[in-house]
Structure 1
Amino acid sequence: MKRRSRIARDDSSSVLAKAVGLVVVGLLVAGGVVLATWDIKPPTRSVEKVIPNDRF
């Protein structure tokens, strides 16, 4: 009997796992790029809060 090497064998499940891993890494990289380049506008509404004098 010939002994097969585990490294040389490529099951369909390992190919699927590699594909899913690549998709996840690609989504993480794309999300990082979007967050780094997204020009988020700061809120422009002013907030005023009255603090009573007895708190000081």
Structure 2
Amino acid sequence: MARRRGRFTGDDSSSVLLKILGVLLIGVVVGGGVLLATWDMKAPTRPVEKVLDNDRF
């Protein structure tokens, strides 16, 4: 019996490369989400003073 070809016509090494790239991409996305969820960014502490003209009121 003849084997049926899959969606990709590349050899086995290209499918392994695609799987590795896919897992790496998912790892980067999940890692970035965890970083953003746990990162303790400090709020700016410099005071802001703005002078408003009396003509505006």
Measured against the shorter chain, the TM-score band is: 0.7 to 0.9
| Equivalence map 1:36-47=2 (5 Å) | 36-47=37-48
Structure 1 residue identity aligned to 2:3 = R
Q: Which segments of 5 or more consecutive residues in structure 2 lack a partner in the other structure? A: none
Q: What are the Cα deviations for residues 5-49 of structure 1, in whole angstroms up to 9, with x where unaligned?
A: 335xx6211110111010010011011101100100000111010
TM-score w.r.t. length of structure 1: 0.82
TM-score w.r.t. length of structure 2: 0.81
| Identical amino acids, percent of aligned pairs | 62
In the TM superposition, structure 1's runs of 4+ consecutive aligned residues that sit over 4 Å from their partners are: none
Structure 1 residue identity aligned to 2:13 = S
Aligned residues: 53
| CA root-mean-square deviation | 1.5
